[in-house]
Chain A
Amino acid sequence: MAAATLDSSQKGKQKQVSQSYWSLVWWKFRKNRIAVIGGFILLVMYVLICIFAEFIAPYDLEHKTNYPEARPQTIRFLDSEGNFSIRPFVYGLEKKIDDKLRKRVFVENPQVKYPIHFFVKGDPYKLLGFIPGDIHLFGVQSDNPEAYIFIMGTDSNGRDFFSRIIFGGRLSMLIGLLGQFLTIIFGSILGAISGYYGGAVDMFVQRFTEFLSAFPDIPLFMALAAAIPKFWSPIAVYFMLTIILAFVRWGGLARQVRGLILSLREREYVLAARSAGASDSRIMFRHLLPGTMSHVIVIATLSIPGMILSETALSWLGLGLRPPLTSWGVLLQEAGTVYAIRFTPWQLWTVVFILITIMAYNMLGDGLRDAMDPYSAR
C-alpha cells in the first residue's frame, strides 16, 4: 500500500540520486579521454566496416579491372597547369612498359581528370544481405567505363585494394568479436561450475585447461585447421575457425572466473541467499556471475586483439581463411612476397588498419579496467 505513495515524480527524483554499479562505471569511464577515443574509433569502425562495408567501399570485392598492380592515385585539387578546382579529382591511368624492369606499369595521365563525387552509382549490392542499393560513399563519375579511383592501389588482379581492406576487415573484426563471445561463454560457464562445485569437477576442468594452455598454440591451430574439410563452404570454414580460436583460448578466462567465484562464493551475501533457500542456479546467475562480469568484460576486451591477430597469423600462414574469403590475414598473405613488397608496397595498408583496431581495443580495455572498479579512489 505504501508503494502507492511512490508516485512518478518521486521515482524520477530517485533516478537522479541513485547510481547502479553500471552507471558508476559509465561515469568513471567517460572521464578517461583515451578510453573514450578508443571506444569511439571501434564503434565507428564496426559500424562502417561490418554493417556498411558495401556502401563505404567504392567497388565490389571481386570487381576486376584492367589495371592490375596500379599504384594509389593521388587525390588532387591542383592540376598540372596549376588550375585549382574545389572538387577533388584524380588523374586517369595509362599503361606503360618499364623497359628496365621489363614490366607493365600504370602511370597517371594528367590529360584525363576524373572528378570525385560523393554518393555515386556503382556496383549493385545488398546491404546486410537484403537491402538492395548501388550508391557508394564516393567514386568517380564519368562516361568512360574505364574511369576508376584506387586510393590504395590495386592488387595483381586489378581489384581496388581499399575496397578489399574494408571487406576483409568485416571478417577479421567479426572473428574477434564472435570468437571472444564464444570464449566468454565457454570460459565463464566452465569457470563458474569449476569454482562453485569444486571437488572432482574442479579437478577435471582445471587439468583440462592446463592441458590446453600447455599445448603450443601454433601446432594446435595447425592441426585443428587442417582438420577442417576442404570441401566445406567458406562460411562454414569461417565459423569453424572462430570456434577453434575460442576453443583454444577459453582456458585462461575460465581460470580467472574460477578464482573470482571462489572468493565470491564465501561472501556473506551468497550465504544470505543460500540461507534463504536459493537454488544453485539462482546463486550462480544472480549473485556469482554478475560479480565476475566486470572482470570478464575487461579480460575479453583486452584479448580481442589477440584473437584478431591469431586469425591474421593463421590466414597468413595459409591455415585460416582461404580465398575467395577475404580477411586482413588473407590480404597480408597476398602481400607477403618479396615481389609484392618490391612492386606493390601499398598492399601493406592492411597493417595500418590492423594496428588502428588493436590500438583502439587496448585503449578501450585499459579504460574499462579502471572504470570497472568505481568504488576505488582516483
Chain B
Amino acid sequence: MTAPEATATSTPAVDESILLNVRGLKKYFPIQKGLLRRTVGYVKAVDDVTFFVREGETLGLVGESGCGKTTAGRTIIRLYEPTGGEIYFKSTVLGNSAPKMVNLLELDKAQMKLVRQEISMIFQDPVNSLNPRMSVGDIIAEPMMIHGKYGPDSEGVIVALLERVGLRADHLRRYPHEFSGGQRQRIGIARALSLNPRLVICDEPVSALDVSIQAQTLNLLEDLQHDFNLAYIFVAHDLSVVQHISDRVAVMYVGKIVEMADSEMLYNNPLHPYTEALLSSVPKPDPKYKSDRIIMQGDVADPSNPPSGCYFHPRCRYAVDLCKQKSPEFRELKKDHFVACHRAEELKLRGI
C-alpha cells in the first residue's frame, strides 16, 4: 500500500501542463460463489495506482498479461466504475472553454457524457472493435451522433478524417469485413478522433497486428499526436513498441505501478528489479548479441490472493526479508523517476 504522503509527492500539483492526474485508483472485481452469489473475495485488478499524463505527451503503460493495465485504462473513462481513488482531468468542455480540473468520479452521468468527447479509446482487437453491421462512415460518425454533433457537413469531416488516417473517401460506405487488420485499426483510430479528443487511451492498439503494420500504425499515431496535440495513454506489453512511442513509461505489476519515469531514464537506468527483468527480455536486432535474459522464477502473482509485502518478492532476485513483510512505498527517488522498491537506492540494475 502506498502511503498517503508518497501519493502527494508523486503529483506536482502546480504543474499546469498536467492533463490527467490519477491518484490511488482502485478497481476490485468481486469473486462471487455459490447459489446466493456471496462475495468471497476480490480480484484487485487495479490497486492503488497513481500516475499523471501531461498535455500532448505519451505515457506508456506496460506489464505482463493480467497485470491490470487494460483495466486501468478502462476505469479512467469509467467503462468500469472504480472502487476508489480520484481521476482529475483538465476538461475544456466542462470549464466553459477555460480548462478546469475536474474529478471524473464526482461527475454525474450528463457531465461525464460531456467529458467523453475529450477522452476516447482505441481498442486492441481490430475485428471485434468495429460493429460488422455498420458501414465505416456510420462507425466513425457514431460518436458525433451520440453527442448530437452530426450535421450536414459531418460527412466531409469524416472523409477528411479517413484520408488523414490513410484510407480513401470511397471506403466510407464499405463494411469492416472488407478491410485488412491494419486498415480496420485505422478505422478505429478515425473513430477515436472524430470528436477532437485531448486524451486517447490506446489499449494495445498494435498487438494484434503484424510487425510491418505495427510500425506504420505507430507512425500514424505519432503523426496524429503532432497534428492534433493529443495525449496518449499507451497500454502495451511490448517494451520495444512502448519505447518507440512513449515520452514516459509506467510499469505495472499485479495491479500496482512499480516504476514510472521518462522513457529514456527508465530504459537506461531502471530502478525496479521487475523493470530490469522485462528489459532483459527485449529482443535486440543484432545477430552477434549474446542473449542474457533474466529468467523470472514462478508465475505472476494471483491478484485475488497476492503475496505479502512487495508483490514481486517471490520472483525477485534481490529480495530480502523486509520485502516479504512490508509493502514498499511508491516514491520519487530522482526527479520524475518514481519507484516502489525497498532496495532501489542500493541496487545497480542493468538497462538496455
Contacts and interface: CB of A to CB of B under 8 A. Distances in A.
A and B are partners in one complex rather than unrelated chains: yes
Interface of A: 1-6, 10-11, 13-15, 17-21, 267-269, 271-279, 282, 286-287, 290-291, 375
Interface residues of B, number: 42
Interface stretch (B8-16, B59-67, B172-180, B224-232): B172-180
Given A268-B128, A269-B128, A3 B155 contact: yes
Nearest to A282: B146
A276 B142 contact: yes
B106 interface: no
Nearest to B177: A375
Contacts, number: 101
B112 to A, nearest CB: 7
Given A21-B175, A268-B129, A3 B153 contact: yes
A278 B124 CA distance: 20
Given A3-B159, A268-B123, A268-B124, A277 B112 contact: yes
B116 A277 contact: yes
A274 B146 CA distance: 10
Contact of B175 (A3, A18, A272): A18
A322 B161 CA distance: 65
26 contacts: A1-B153, A1-B156, A1-B160, A2-B156, A2-B163, A2-B169, A3-B153, A3-B156, A3-B159, A10-B170, A20-B133, A20-B175, A268-B125, A268-B128, A269-B131, A271-B129, A272-B123, A272-B129, A275-B116, A275-B121, A276-B116, A276-B120, A277-B146, A279-B146, A286-B131, A291-B133
B146 A18 contact: no
Given A271-B121, A277-B112, A17 B174 contact: yes
Contact of A4 (B74, B77, B156): B156
A109 to B, nearest CB: 65
Contacts of B177: 375
Contacts of B143: 276-277
B178 A18 contact: yes
Nearest to B160: A2
Given A6-B159, A19-B175, A268-B129, 17 more contacts: A1-B156, A2-B169, A3-B155, A14-B174, A18-B174, A20-B175, A21-B132, A21-B175, A269-B129, A271-B74, A272-B129, A274-B79, A275-B120, A276-B116, A279-B146, A286-B142, A287-B131
* Of A11, A17, A18, most B-chain CB atoms within 10 Å: A18
Contacts of A4: 156
A6 B169 contact: yes
Contacts of A279: 146
A275 B76 CA distance: 10
Nearest to A10: B170
B258 to A, nearest CB: 27
Nearest to B77: A275
Contacts of A277: 112-113, 116-117, 143, 146-147
A5 B163 CA distance: 13
Contacts of B119: 275
A273 B146 contact: yes
B135 A20 contact: yes
B20 to A, nearest CB: 15
- 8 nearest A-B pairs in the assembled complex, by CB-CB distance: A268-B129, A3-B155, A277-B116, A2-B159, A3-B156, A277-B113, A268-B123, A276-B143
A1 B133 CA distance: 27
A271 B188 CA distance: 12
Contacts of A274: 79
Nearest to B194: A276
B133 A21 contact: yes
B30 to A, nearest CB: 13
Contact of A276 (B146, B155, B172, B178): B146
A274 B79 CA distance: 7
* Of A5, A17, A272, A279, most B-chain CB atoms within 10 Å: A272
B44 to A, nearest CB: 21
B123 A271 contact: yes
A27 B117 CA distance: 39
Nearest to A290: B133
Contacts of A19: 175, 178
B53 interface: no
A274 B132 CA distance: 17
Nearest to B131: A269
Contacts of B313: none
Nearest to B143: A276
B191 interface: yes
B279 interface: no
* Of A277, A287, A291, most B-chain CB atoms within 10 Å: A277
Nearest to A270: B131
A373 to B, nearest CB: 11
Interface in B94-123: 112-113, 116-117, 119-121, 123
Nearest to B156: A3
